[in-house]
Chain A
Amino acid sequence: MTESGRKRRVIAAYLAIGLLLVGTFWGLDDHFPFGPFRMYSTKDEVDGPVRSLLFEGAYEDGAPFTIGSSSLGLRRAEADGQVERVREDPEFLRHFVEAYEAFHPDEPPLHHFRLFHRVYELRDREPVGTEDVTVAEWSRE
Chain B
Amino acid sequence: MTKTDKPPTAGGRSKAAIDPAAATLRKTMGDALVAIGRDRDEHAFALIYNYYAGRIKSFLMGKGMNEDTADELTQEIMLTVWRRAESYDPKKAAASTWLFTIARNRRIDYLRGNSRIEVELDDELLDIRTTESDTQARFVAQEQVADDIDAALAVLPAEQRQVMHLSYFRGMSHGAIANWLDLPIGTVKSRIRLAMQSVKSNLKGEDDVLERDDYLDSE
Question: Do they bind each other?
Answer: no
Residues of A within 8 A of B (CB): none
Hey, which bits of chain B sit against chain A, CB under 8 A? none
